[in-house]
Amino acid sequence: MITSTGGVGKLGKFSTNKIFTLGYTSTTPEELLQIATERDALVLDIRLKAWSMAPRWRVEALQELLEKRYIGMSFLGNLNYKSGGLTVLNNPERGLELVTRYLVTGGDPKSVILLCACWSHVTCHRLVAAKLIAGETGCEIEHLYGSRKEGK
């Protein structure tokens, strides 16, 4: 009898690993590290360009902070992030292939945190990316928020 609650996706892989999402404007670097460590999760930076006005959210700073947990994943960046039009993912096929490997089929599969800047997941392309990955893998989605309030 199958009792797993991880679900089964098209790949037929069972996994209790999760697809988390997080906007860094709701958190701090220290808190992000804590969130990722507690869940033993990889942080996939799905911004089209891993750059920010704030130096602490640039690729170099995040690599130093998160070390091996940090993975740039611009394949799942939104080509329309500047225009504000409908979400168009950069290269969803390649992104999906890689994320599936990290999440369920790799040698040491882990939960993943899809990281963008946007405070809310509702209007962020991370929702589109998370649903895409969930549809393929059957893994559950959980939207995380840090301790910073919106607009602060």
Characterize the bridge pairing of strands 42-45 and 112-116.
parallel
- Minimum distance of Zn ion from residue 130's CB (angstroms): 11
Site string for Zn ion, 114-143 (x = CB under 5 A): --x-x-----x-------------------
- Which among 48-56, 92-100, 108-116, 143-151 is the span making contact with Zn ion, rule CB under 5 A? 108-116
- The H or E element that residue 113 is part of is strand 112-116
**Considering only CA atoms, which of 92, 86, 89, 146 is closest in space to residue 118?**
146
- Minimum distance of Zn ion from residue 135's CB (angstroms): 19
Residue 70 or 119: the one with the smaller Cβ distance to Zn ion is: 119
Both tokens of 1, joined, read 């009898």
Residue 42 or 118: the one with the smaller Cβ distance to Zn ion is: 118
Residue 36 or 124: the one with the smaller Cβ distance to Zn ion is: 124
Q: How far apart are CA 137 and CA 96, in angstroms?
A: 9
DSSP count for the chain of H helices, then E strands: 4, 5
Could you tell me which residues are beta bridge partners of residue 72?
Answer: 45
Residue 96 or 124: the one with the smaller Cβ distance to Zn ion is: 124
Site string for Zn ion, 65-104 (x = CB under 5 A): ----------------------------------------
Residue 21 or 137: the one with the smaller Cβ distance to Zn ion is: 21
Both tokens of 71, joined, read 């993975």
Unique residue bearing structure tokens 């040491």: 108
Binding positions for Zn ion, rule: CB under 5 A: 116, 118, 124
